[in-house]
Each structure stands twice: as structure tokens, then as C-alpha cells.
Amino acid sequence: MSNSTSDVSKHRTFLIDTTKCTGCRGCQVACKQWNQLGAEKTTFFSGEGYQNPPAMSEHTFTRIKFKDYQKNGQNEFAFYKEMCMHCNEPACASVCPVGAFVKTPEGPVVYNAGRCIGCRFCMIACPFGIPKYEWSKAFPLVKKCTGCYSRVKEGLQPACATTCPTAISYGGRSEMLAEAERRLKNRPKHYYPAIYGKEEAGGTSVIYLTHQPLDELGFKKVTLRPLPSYTWQALRLVPGIFLTMGGGLSLISWFNHRKERIKQEEAFKNSKVAPETAEPETREEIQ
């Protein structure tokens, strides 16, 4: 679960200005190098557009998506870097039965493979569809962007942010938000007036600026409420329901059994059956 003591405004945050992205895909390569991810055999146009590989996978934690569009009669590209959003209150961390996902105080949401039992609930829960599974293996684990936690811990920047020549800034969340606001204010015509990730899923440690409307670029429209709150509103009732149910049924059973016992005793008394010889002795002992 999200660490309530950690300060959200200090979480290390990616500010990805897609208007500055050149589509060089250095980030994809750097990511594979640092995380030692295998190559995927790809062919051109196997997916929707120029992007390759056609989808994120256990071998691909980040990917530049290409969007064709026309401007003044010219063909143009817009880009969108797909990666884990490192939510402030991650859905994956809240649904994992063994707590294999943790939102670190530094910002990245990290995954503890040693704990994972492989139930894939994180994949169902993630609103951005980020966790991927090692489908090729007999005993698969989940794979996802680590936010380069091993680097961030030591004061370095993530591999993709280090490599990116133009578009990625990395720093405290409040600084990055202020920077994004400043850019929006200075060049209102240049940007689509929204900061994706500022409030999405309750706020994330990856925020985007774009030129295109968000949905056209392939950004998912997600709820602004932190996702863990959706399940917690039901789960928080669990102890109460357990006690009410147990207590209520115990009471009902006790009354019903008591009624039954009294009825039996009454019936016995009214029946005027001559007590057997052993009877008085037994009675005494009961009383």
C-alpha cells in the first residue's frame, strides 16, 4: 500500500513533454540495456502504426507509440511514451494478496518477485494495463517498469530519462508539476490544456504534456479517484460483517434452541409420565 508517511510532493516524477519527443526510441533501448531485457523479433507495421514492438510485454517495459496526423496539409507524427505510471496510490499494490508491490518513498512502484504467487490480479487491476506476465514460462512471474529503482536509490536518474535528449525531465513531483504548469502558461497554443497524470488514478509519478487531444494519442481515460478506494469501501466492512453475522446467528440459534428445550420440558411435565426410578436423582444433579 502507499506509504502514508512519504511525501507525495517529493516523489521522483517523470515529466514527459511529448511535443519535444523526436521518436528516436533511445529510451526503449536504454530500458532494455539497464533492465537486461531480451530482444523481441519484430517486423515493420506488425502493430497499428510505426511503433515496434507491437505491444508492451515481459521484454518491453517502455515503448514509443507513433500517431499519424495532418497539419497544414503535411503528414506529422505525434509520440506517446508508454510506461508504468507509478501511481501515488497504486491499484496493483492494493490488490496483491501478498503485498508484492510497494510504492517506495522515492516514488517508483517496485515489484518483489520473491513474494509473488502469480495470481495476475495486478494485471486485472491496473487501469493502464502495465503489468505483463512471463507467459512462456512454466512458473511465470509478473514483469513491469521498475522506475529504475536501483538507480534512483543511488541518486541517479532512470535509464530512459538519462538517455532522452529532449523530452523527459525528472525530479520532485511538485517541481515537475510547477514546470508543466509554467510551460502550459507560456505557450498555451502549443499545448493541449491538460496535464495527464496530475489527477488520473489519484495522481501518478509520470505526468505528460501533449499537443494532441489525449484520447487521440492513445491515453486511456481513467477515473480520477485513487483505485484502492473502490475496493476498500467494501473491504473495510469485513470485520464488522464477520462479527455481526457470527453474533447474530449465535443469538438466533441460542433463542431457537432455548425455545425448543422449553417446549420439550413443558411437554414432558404436561404428559404426566411417571418418572422412572432413576429420574429424581438425575433431576437433582441437573439443578
Closest contact distance (angstroms) between CB of 206 and other proteins is: 18
Backbone angles phi, psi at 143, to 5 degrees: -130, 140
Stretch that binds other proteins, among 9-17, 72-80, 153-161, 230-238 (CB under 8 A): 230-238
Note the Cα 174 to chain centre separation in Å: 22
Kindly state the smallest distance separating residue 7's Cβ from other proteins, in Å: 21
Which span (147-155, 160-168, 184-192, 260-268) binds other proteins, by CB under 8 A? 260-268
Among 71, 185, 189, 221, binds other proteins (CB under 8 A): 221
Q: Which stretch binds other proteins (CB under 8 A): 17-25, 32-40, 125-133, 169-177?
A: 125-133
Element (H, E) at 228: helix 228-235
Q: Binding segment for other proteins among 25-33, 144-152, 208-216, 247-255 (CB under 8 A)?
A: 247-255
Q: Binding mask 87-106 vs other proteins (x if CB under 8 A, - otherwise)?
A: ----x--xxxxxxx------
Q: Taking CB under 8 A as the rule, does residue 109 contact other proteins?
A: no
* Cβ–Cβ under 8 Å, residues 208 and 65: no
218 contributes a contact to other proteins by CB under 8 A: no
CA 105 – CA 157 distance, rounded (Å): 15
| 92-124 per-residue burial string, b: 16 or more CB within 10 A, e: under 16 | bbbbbeeebbbbbebbbbbbeeeebeeeebbbe
Peptide bond just before 53 cis, omega within 30 deg: yes
Cβ contacts of residue 102 below 8 Å, gap of 6+? 3, 93, 109, 110, 112
By CB under 8 A, residue 274 contacts other proteins? no
Q: Which long-range contacts (CB under 8 A, 24 or more apart) does 229-238 make?
A: 229/89, 229/202, 231/94, 231/95, 232/94
Grid coordinates representing 85 are 505510471
CB of 131 to other proteins, least distance (A): 8
Tell which positions 133-152 bind other proteins, by CB under 8 A: 133-142
Pairwise CA distance, residues 266 & 219, whole Å: 75
Decide whether 7 or 279 has the Cβ nearer to other proteins.
Answer: 279
**From CA 152, how far away is CA 160, in angstroms rounded?**
12
Shortest separation between residue 33's beta carbon and other proteins, angstroms? 23
Asked if residues 80 and 67 have their Cβ atoms less than 8 Å apart, the reply is yes
Of the candidate residues 11, 32, 67, 132, the single one contacting other proteins (CB under 8 A): 132
Ranges within 6-65 binding other proteins (CB under 8 A):
55-57
Residue 129 binds to other proteins (criterion: CB under 8 A): yes
- Residue 126 in contact with residue 136, Cβ under 8 Å? no
Residue type, 214: L
CB of 48 to other proteins, least distance (A): 11
- The smaller minimum CB distance to other proteins, of residues 190 and 261, is found at 261
- For other proteins, the binding residues (CB under 8 A) are 1, 55-57, 91, 94-100, 115-121, 123-125, 127, 129, 132-142, 220-223, 225, 227-228, 230-235, 238, 241-242, 245-246, 249-250, 252-254, 256-261, 264, 278, 282, 285-286
